[in-house]
Amino acid sequence: MSHGLNYKHLYYFWVVAKEGGMSRAADKLDMAVQTISAQVRELERSLGYALLRPAGRGLVLTDAGIAAMQQADLIFQLGENLTTVVRDAMSSPSVRLAVGISDGLPKMVVRRLLHPVVTEPHLRLVCDEGELDDLLGDLALHRLDLVLADRPAPSNPNIKLYSHSMGSSPVSWYASAELYKSAKKDFPNCLADVPVLLPTSHNDVRSRIDHWFERRGIRPRIIGEFEDSALLKTFGISGMGVFPAVEWVHEELLVHDALKRVGPCDGVEENFFAIGTEKKVQHPLVQRLLTEPH
């Protein structure tokens, strides 16, 4: 970025673009329209490109304006967070760890993956769940220290990310007591007859389960698909259908007396990754997560 960039000019442009016009931006900033317009023209002159063009009674972004707006969003969103970050840093001697949780990751697995750090004195753990792509964007902006996911980070020439394996777990089939007898009989062929619940294709393990069915020539009787693993488990426990789950959470699942393990999903494993922005991790808690057994 040019050292000669005037951030005040950029801010006025950002407000104009967000408000959709000079007059609305002037009202928001409590300034004269002429002043706002002059500041935006100065920014365009310094960049060498028009950023806005008339459209009806308002203004729209040019291609150059879209690019400038994307960068302005990053700059001023980070600026808006500055007060909170500084206040949090000074309020207590806490050790902060901000973790993004991919929404397809089993919640009980997340607890196991984070177990090595949960007893850290003065820990302030911040967990943010969402779509993997959104979380990786926050990671690139340093709003997160790492992202936990069921797949490595996709290749992106604009963001350099590193995927660290945190292990894998075999998958098995579970059923409520009401379904167990039917599901256990002639397993796994019975999965063509008993109701089956599956994760959606949003979850990386789904394709491996589909191939498992194909190899055995089984057409499962699918009556429900769930993006959220906790919701899948909840409906499975209620008796809606037989469902797959990682054996890492076997003991937690059997806490429910009405739930039983039907059999293995042979050869199918779910993988777990910690995604960060550093090849050599600096954050001490992230180092611990990657080096201690789970």
- C-alpha radius of gyration, the chain, whole number: 26
Write out pLDDT tens, residues 179-223: 999 999 899 999 999 999 999 998 899 999 999 999 999 999 999
DSSP-derived pairing of the beta strands 195-199 and 162-176: unpaired
Query: 138 is written with which tokens?
Result: 């926050």
Q: What is the largest CA-CA distance in the chain?
A: 80
Which pLDDT score is estimated for 126?
92
Q: Where are the beta strands (DSSP E) in the chain?
A: 52-55, 58-61, 95-102, 123-130, 146-149, 162-176, 195-199, 221-226, 243-246, 259-276
Write out pLDDT tens, residues 50-102: 999 888 777 889 999 899 988 888 888 777 777 776 776 666 567 889 999 99
Q: How far apart, in whole angstroms, are the C-alpha atoms of residue 263 and residue 186?
A: 11
Which pLDDT score is estimated for 119?
87
Q: How far is CA 114 from the centre of its chain?
A: 16
Please choose, from the candidates 191, 186, 235, the residue with its C-alpha nearest in 3D space to the C-alpha of residue 209. Answer: 191
In contact, 294 and 122? CB cutoff 8 Å: no
Which pLDDT score is estimated for 154?
86
Domains of the chain listed by start with CATH number? 7-88 (1.10.10.10), 92-167+273-291 (3.40.190.10), 170-269 (3.40.190.10)
- pLDDT-derived band at 246, boundaries 50, 70, 90: very high
**What value does the mean pLDDT take over residues 261-283?**
90
Query: 53 is written with which tokens?
Result: 């063009």
Residue at token pair 């990786």: 136
Which pLDDT score is estimated for 127?
93
Half-sphere exposure of 189 (CA within 13 A, CB side): 2
Please choose, from the candidates 195, 194, 198, 216, the residue with its C-alpha nearest in 3D space to the C-alpha of residue 207. Answer: 198
Task: State the DSSP string of 44-63.
Answer: HHHHTS--EEEETTEEEE-H
Residue with more model confidence, 80 or 18: 18
Q: Is the whole model's pTM more than 0.75, yes or no?
A: no
**What value does the mean pLDDT take over residues 281-293?**
84
In contact, 128 and 101? CB cutoff 8 Å: yes
**What value does the mean pLDDT take over residues 143-147?**
92
Least confident of 59-63, 172-176, 192-196, 265-269: 59-63
Please choose, from the candidates 114, 151, 157, 156, the residue with its C-alpha nearest in 3D space to the C-alpha of residue 131. Answer: 151
Which pLDDT score is estimated for 50?
93
